[in-house]
Homo-oligomer: A and B are copies of this chain.
Amino acid sequence: MTLIDSTTVNRAGARYGDPDFVLAATSPVIEHQLRHRSVRAFLPDPVTEDELRAVVAAASSASTSSNLQAWSVVAVTDPERKRRLSDLAAGQRFIDEAPLFLVWVADLDRGHRLAERDDKPLDATAYLESTLLGVIDTALAAQNAVVALESLGLGAVFVGAVRNHPEEVADELGLPPHSVAVFGLAVGRPDPAEDADVKPRLPQTAVLHRETYDAGRADAGLPAYDERLAAYNHAHGLTGAWTERVLARLAGAASLAGRDRLRDVLERRELPSR
């Protein structure tokens, strides 16, 4: 399968910031995925109920560990609630401006409610494995939602900053114990005035290993990638290359914006990392 305009636009090349990278096999779905970009400026038009149902149906279609479906999503449209969540999530104003803010929740509480109803034990959720399982299920569902909403002409950006103050976010949304907000997703119709573009990713040689992990081969392309990303940033009014941003983001506890407390928070939310 090939998409008609793939003969004129090399979307895979744009994805890697490398015009020489072309795909010999592709599909309309893949060409759609290659166009993903984060959108942080939205028109005021609401996301319709029909659109939301379709997006959640796509989320439900993602894989899930043992069919546990250990996730929930809270759809927030109330302007006051969005403003409060925005304040909790590093004050990012696009959360206010987006007509819809989806908060994706790793949810082991559904299982606990069933266990209580049926008077059964549910002790596995005390282990880090179960929290990771919930986080994985949540991420798989949310990524499917993004692919779906973009196919409806909507745009979105993930908001990891809901993990800056997870207890306050849980209070705001009335989340039960055994659950935690993993990330938000601001959703709306993209403002065409925004300077949002496809951001180049690490070359395939950096992320794809054959049979065993080969760090030397993987890192050989990083200097060229740094140059590509510096050029992209410069063209979009940003500064710096990739490496310095990675090193700043992961320098230490202070660069985690409060998320260094996450393990204690999970303990208090009855998702201990045993």
Contact = CB atoms under 8 A, between A and B. Distances in A.
A143 to B, nearest CB: 4
Nearest to A27: B151
Contacts of A42: none
A111 B246 CA distance: 7
B262 A132 contact: yes
A118 B247 contact: yes
Contacts of A123: 250-253
A256 interface: yes
Interface string A175-188: 11001001100000
Nearest to A255: B124
A-side interface size class: 35 or more
B67 A245 contact: yes
Interface in A8-55: 12, 15-16, 23-30, 32-36, 38, 48, 50-54
A25 B38 contact: no
A78 interface: yes
Q: How many monomers of this chain does the complex have?
A: 2
A34 B62 CA distance: 9
A182 B1 CA distance: 31
Which of A125, A139, A158 gathers the greatest number of chain B CB atoms within 10 Å?
Answer: A139
Given A12-B57, A73-B208, A135-B136, A147 B114 contact: no
Contacts of A158: 63, 65
B124 A253 contact: yes
A33 B256 contact: no
Contact of A209 (B73, B250, B273): B73
A133 interface: yes
A140 interface: yes
B256 A56 contact: no
A69 interface: yes
Interface string A141-176: 011101110111000011010010000000011111
A189 to B, nearest CB: 13
Nearest to A75: B210
B247 A128 contact: no
Contact of A266 (B16, B60, B128): B128
Closest A-B pairs by Cβ, 6 of them? A139-B139, A29-B151, A129-B259, A123-B252, A25-B50, A27-B151
10 contacts: A15-B57, A25-B53, A26-B54, A52-B208, A73-B209, A110-B219, A114-B222, A124-B249, A173-B213, A263-B274
Given A72-B218, A129-B256, 7 more contacts: A33-B147, A35-B61, A63-B157, A68-B250, A76-B211, A118-B243, A143-B143
